[in-house]
């Protein structure tokens, strides 16, 4: 306790933390300078937990399912979500795009690169922003047909405006086709998408899924025009 401190104000700031900690099975340390005791307690708590992941045996259907998790042994307590969302491939792809947009986190095993082209004016003061997607052929699975190598990618697009808001993700399915006489592993497969956006957009993120291999990747780019 610090002499002269307004304890009612301190309680107002810590009550929410106490509620969240206790409701989630944790604990909160407040109004103490004994940091060694705090760290020892945290260490003991963390060392007593196991974090277990699992895959659903059912195919993803985009619906919420009730879950019950049981463990063998006495004296054990399990905490888990009562319901989980069985995300489809499209929903997972949208999650990857959001992660890249907000946190700039995500893998890029397909070597995806984004490039902005010159924006075009549209109605209601909006703009059409063409975005070029470059993917190394060596990273894709393209199947031969009569006269070309063909592949297909699913793309999820999300954008961030100047106020920090995002619109719902847009899903686009694109077909890749390279003539047989132009095919080589060192070639870059290119596709373009045209995004209708409002002025003030600051960042664009795309995630792609190779529909043949199932490999997913993501990348993001800041808008070139500060007025976008």
What is d(CA 66, CA 49) in angstroms, rounded to the nearest whole number?
23
Mean pLDDT of the residues in the chain: 87
pLDDT tens for 115-162 read: 999 999 998 888 999 999 999 999 999 999 989 999 999 999 999 988
Q: Closest Cα to residue 91, out of 10, 171, 149?
A: 171
User: What is the rounded CA–CA span in Å between residue 184 and residue 182?
Assistant: 7
Q: Which candidate, 22, 72, 27, 64, places its Cα nearest to that of 45?
A: 27
Q: What is the dihedral of CA 113, 206, 216, 111, to 10 degrees?
A: 0
* Confidence check: pLDDT of 228 > 60: no
Q: What share of the chain is helix, strand, coil (3-state, %, to 5)?
A: 25, 35, 45
Residues 201 and 162: beta-carbon distance below 8 Å? yes
DSSP-assigned letters across all residues of 91-156: HHHHHHHHHHHHH-----TT--EEEE---EE-GGG-EEEEEEEEEEGGGS--EE-SSEEEEEEEEE
Query: For residues 18 and 3, what is the distance between their CA atoms, to the nearest angstrom?
Result: 23
Confidence of residue 6 (pLDDT cuts 50, 70, 90): low
Instruction: Name every residue whose Cβ is closer than 8 Å to that of residue 157 and which is 6 or more positions away in sequence.
Output: 97, 169, 170, 171, 172, 193, 195, 204, 205, 206
Closest CA to 157 of 114, 189, 118: 114
pLDDT of 19 over the 90 cut: no
Q: Is residue 9 scored above 80 in pLDDT?
A: no
Residue 3 — pLDDT band, cuts 50, 70, 90? low
Rounded to a whole number of angstroms, the CA Rg of the chain reads 25
Say how far apart CA 26 and CA 45 lie, in whole Å. Answer: 9
Q: Percent of the chain having pLDDT more than 90?
A: 50
What count of other Cβ atoms lies within 10 Å of the Cβ of residue 97? 27
The answer to whether residue 226 scores a pLDDT higher than 50 is no
Residue-wise pLDDT tens digits, 101-112 = 999 999 999 999
């Amino acid at each position: 306790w610090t002499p002269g401190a307004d304890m009612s104000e301190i309680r107002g700031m810590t009550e929410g933390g106490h509620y969240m900690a206790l409701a989630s099975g944790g604990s909160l340390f407040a109004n103490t300078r004994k940091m060694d005791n705090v760290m020892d307690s945290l260490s003991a708590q963390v060392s007593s937990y196991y974090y277990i992941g699992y895959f659903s045996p059912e195919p993803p259907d985009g619906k919420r399912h009730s879950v019950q998790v049981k463990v063998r042994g006495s004296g054990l307590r399990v905490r888990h979500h009562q319901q989980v969302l069985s995300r489809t491939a499209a929903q997972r792809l949208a999650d990857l795009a959001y992660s890249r947009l907000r946190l700039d986190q995500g893998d890029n095993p397909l070597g995806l690169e984004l490039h902005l082209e010159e924006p075009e004016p549209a109605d209601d003061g909006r703009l059409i922003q063409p975005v070029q997607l470059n993917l190394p052929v060596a990273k894709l699975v393209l199947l031969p047909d009569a006269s070309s190598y063909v592949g297909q990618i699913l793309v999820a697009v999300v954008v961030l405006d100047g106020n920090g808001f995002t619109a719902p993700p847009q899903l686009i399915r694109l077909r890749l086709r390279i003539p047989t006489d132009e095919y080589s592993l060192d070639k870059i497969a290119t596709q373009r998408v045209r995004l209708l956006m409002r002025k003030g957009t600051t960042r664009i993120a795309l995630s792609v899924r190779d529909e043949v291999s199932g490999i997913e990747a993501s990348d993001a780019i800041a808008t070139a025009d500060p007025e976008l």
